[in-house]
Structure 1
Amino acid sequence: ANNNLVYFVALLYGIGEGFYWLSVNTLNQLVTNPETRADFLSISGILSNIANVAAPLLATFIINLSGTDIDGYLNIFKIVLFIYGGISILGLMIKEKGNPVKFSVLKSLSFQKDKQWRYVLLSYFFYGFRDSLILSLTGLLIYNATNGSGSFYGKLLAFFSLLTIIAYAIASKIIRRHNRIKYYTYGAIFISSATIILVLIPNLLGALYYGIVNAIATPFYTIPLSIISMNAINDYSKTENLAGRIIAKETYLSLSRCLGMLFIVLCEKIFPGNIYLYVSVLILSLSPIVLVIYANIYHKKRDGAKQLTY
């Protein structure tokens, strides 16, 4: 019965997250424009990582004030519900409106003959494979690399978040349209190396390399991808309800995350011992490289076609 309840809670959580992120991504799309998106994404990244530093400290404080750990977790859960309620109210106060016409998710899921939309969907499909590592393995690998020390693990995560805050601030100053693909490529290379080193060197040194490199490279990898996709989606805003495009994009992202996790499970079933870790991590870690190779090819062809029209 308890197992079934866990699945039911997970189902509700997944549905709630889907609606939440659809709303957030749609609002982000509507309230920004090509001139403001780099700053918006950088500030969002900075604030998110400030929360990553503050949240564990606040959670520990709340648990210590509560009578028991269970009471502490319940109090935290209530606070989270209150925060999400506040976010919902703030969202309702945003006056920006999209194009309120009917949309077809199935139509948006297909590549059609639209090369730009195909590029967006495949980009997020490739992006999700490495995400499957982050969601399933890297936290455990870092925890093991610290010899299971929860306090040290928490301090490491706080340090990595501080580095990410600095990296987002730097990225907002130097990433521009003319150098976006260059930093996108550099970010992808370092992002790929981070998880590879972590599994090849499963100790504190590997954990430090992963955390530091991942923290610094993440803004240079994610900001260009987000700007490119948001600018592309914006091209459809005058004639379509953008919700269909955003749902399709998130569907491809979720699909590749699920496929990545399935690949890890299959590797665990096929390969003996820890060999499955090396195989799955090495292969999935290459997805950012594949993504930026595809991006460079697409943008060179597109820019070449534009030059021919002039």
Structure 2
Amino acid sequence: MNSTEATRHLLPPSSKWLLSINTLFAGASALSNTFLNVYLWKFLQDVEQIATYNFCIFFFTAIGYATAGWIAKKSDRLYTLRASVAILALFYILMISLGAKAVNMYALLGALQGVGTGFFWLSYNVLVFEVTEPETRDAYNGANGFLFAIATMAAPLLAGRILSTLPQRGYTIIFAVSGALFLTAVLFTWRLRRNASPPSYDLYSGFSPKEHRNLWRKMLSMSFSMGFREGTLAFLPFLLVFLVTQNELTASRYLLFTAGGSLVAYYIVKRFLTNSRRMFFVTTAAIMLGLSVVLLLFEVNKFSLFVFGIANSLFTPLLVIPYSCLTYDVMGKLPEAAHRKVEYIVIRETVVNSGRCLSILAMIMLQELVSATLALQLTFLMVGLSPLVALFFFRRTETSFQTRFSSPLRGSG
């Protein structure tokens, strides 16, 4: 067993608790959020309004990150993690209590969900930075993705079954179960140690560090392109599957197939990804993700959506995990990394969510300027090109990083 393989078995207990927390969060999110856009569609019947709802989520996720960062620096990142559950619990309480009236408040609900999501992911990303090292980062992210795929495979299938069996009360049951899973996740946070940071909160330093500024800007450029790709993908393909099939159980089967593809991909990442293979993984993923939209450029139907969904699920992890690992490696070399990790994460995620928001705005503008069919084709064309842009910036960042900080891990895999 070489040194890289050995590190896969050396994840500390804190990282295993963190894996459990994120798996519960993933299950709760997949159970409810997946069909939330369908739920809203039944009342709104307007893609632009659904897009606006998702825009609000991403916009306020960035605000949630910045606010949670300030709180985390003044107190502790575990408090913002627990606060995220309280905010998301309020979101689900409103969804359950308001029922059909909730659609009249979709922008406010999107804002509430965004803030809660930002609080959660700020805390989670800070904790990942703390509990992993360059030697264990690939292994941790591979294991996390594998568990995430299992949760996102089981949850939508369960949701689809509930909705097909209990169409009247199904959404209420789903939102209630999601709330329970979030509560369990927050109880697990008591197994993690408190670790207060210096109270000063300097976002300018997070955006423009004194050293390695150009390297960090390259990393942020890739983050923006990754976010641009994710914006419309967060809701559009699944919503289109439902609109084409008009069946929630069929739509849940689409999610089962795509989650199964992710499960295979994350197993490959967990088993084979090393520092020296990151470039190969990202290059392969970017090319295949670019090709995955070809059928959708000709016709959006059940077959083309399923082909795209499966290809997307198989190759997205091969792009996302190396990107995530490289991001933390770069952050670890920035000035005062231990004290400024919150600021670096807030800035990165603000850039990611800016890309997501711009992607949705572009889709809304296309809907206004051209026919619906052409707007969809151009939207998917942008989705197909964005991984190639991400590949360009990944290569620049990776090359610059290796030039400045030659790592003995290179070549170990």
TM-score w.r.t. the length of structure 2 is: 0.67
For the 8 Å contact 1:143–1:149, the answer to whether it is kept is: yes
Show the counterpart of 1:50. Answer: 150
Q: Are residues 1:77 and 2:175 paired?
A: yes
Q: Which amino acid aligns with 1:8?
A: L
Q: Are residues 1:275 and 2:413 paired?
A: no
- 1:195, distance to aligned residue in structure 2 (A): 3.0
For the 8 Å contact 2:163–2:170, the answer to whether it is kept is: yes
The worse-fitting range, judged by mean Cα deviation, of 244-253 and 184-193 is: 184-193
Deviations 1:207-261 (A, max 9, x none): 2321221121122111110000011122345552311111111100111100111
Show the counterpart of 1:116. Answer: 215
Show the counterpart of 1:133. Answer: 232
Q: In structure 1, how many angstroms separate the alpha carbons of the residues matched to 2:354 and 2:143?
A: 28
Gaps of 5+ in 1: none
After TM superposition, the structure 1 = structure 2 runs for residues 25-104 of structure 1, keeping only pairs within 5 Å, are 25-59=125-159, 69-95=167-193, 97=195, 99-104=197-202
Q: In structure 1, how many angstroms separate the alpha carbons of the residues matched to 2:246 and 2:301?
A: 11
Instruction: Say what the alpha-carbon RMSD is for the aligned residues.
Output: 2.6
Gaps of 5+ in 2: 1-100, 407-413
Deviations 1:123-144 (A, max 9, x none): 1111111112202422233335
For the 8 Å contact 2:331–2:337, the answer to whether it is kept is: no
After TM superposition, the structure 1 = structure 2 runs for residues 137-176 of structure 1, keeping only pairs within 5 Å, are 137-144=236-243, 147-176=245-274
The equivalent position to 2:329 in structure 1, one of 215, 231, 246, is: 231
Deviations 1:250-305 (A, max 9, x none): 10011110011101111111123411222232134211101111222343355456
Q: In structure 2, how many angstroms separate the alpha carbons of the residues matched to 1:234 and 1:301?
A: 15
For the 8 Å contact 2:220–2:351, the answer to whether it is kept is: yes
Q: Are residues 1:20 and 2:105 paired?
A: no
Q: In structure 2, how many angstroms separate the alpha carbons of the residues matched to 1:273 and 1:61?
A: 32
For the 8 Å contact 1:101–1:240, the answer to whether it is kept is: no
- Aligned CA distance change for structure 1 residues 156 and 239 (closer, same or farther; 3 Å): closer
Q: In structure 1, how many angstroms separate the alpha carbons of the residues matched to 2:153 and 2:261?
A: 11
The worse-fitting range, judged by mean Cα deviation, of 202-211 and 217-226 is: 202-211
- 1:20, distance to aligned residue in structure 2 (A): 1.0
Q: Give the length in aligned residue pairs.
A: 304
For the 8 Å contact 2:231–2:359, the answer to whether it is kept is: yes
Q: Are residues 1:213 and 2:311 paired?
A: yes
- Aligned CA distance change for structure 1 residues 51 and 250 (closer, same or farther; 3 Å): same
TM-score w.r.t. the length of structure 1 is: 0.87
- 1:17, distance to aligned residue in structure 2 (A): 1.1
Secondary structure (helix, strand or coil) at the match of 1:97 reads: coil
The equivalent position to 1:292 in structure 2, one of 381, 387, 391, is: 391
For the 8 Å contact 1:105–1:244, the answer to whether it is kept is: yes
Deviations 1:58-97 (A, max 9, x none): 33565688xx645443233232222212212212321263
Q: In structure 1, how many angstroms separate the alpha carbons of the residues matched to 2:302 and 2:108?
A: 37
Secondary structure (helix, strand or coil) at the match of 1:262 reads: helix
For the 8 Å contact 1:105–1:248, the answer to whether it is kept is: yes
Q: Which amino acid aligns with 2:232?
A: L
Q: In structure 1, how many angstroms separate the alpha carbons of the residues matched to 2:130 and 2:288?
A: 31
Deviations 1:29-64 (A, max 9, x none): 211111111121111111112112221343356568
Q: Are residues 1:9 and 2:114 paired?
A: no
The equivalent position to 1:252 in structure 2, one of 346, 351, 360, is: 351
Q: In structure 2, how many angstroms separate the alpha carbons of the residues matched to 1:182 and 1:95?
A: 37
For the 8 Å contact 2:163–2:248, the answer to whether it is kept is: no
Q: Are residues 1:222 and 2:320 paired?
A: yes
Q: Which amino acid aligns with 1:261?
A: I
Q: In structure 2, how many angstroms separate the alpha carbons of the residues matched to 1:277 and 1:117?
A: 34
Q: Which amino acid aligns with 1:17?
A: T
Q: In structure 1, how many angstroms separate the alpha carbons of the residues matched to 2:170 and 2:239?
A: 24
Identity, % of aligned positions:
25
Q: In structure 2, how many angstroms separate the alpha carbons of the residues matched to 1:54 and 1:133?
A: 23
For the 8 Å contact 2:206–2:340, the answer to whether it is kept is: no
For the 8 Å contact 1:143–1:153, the answer to whether it is kept is: yes
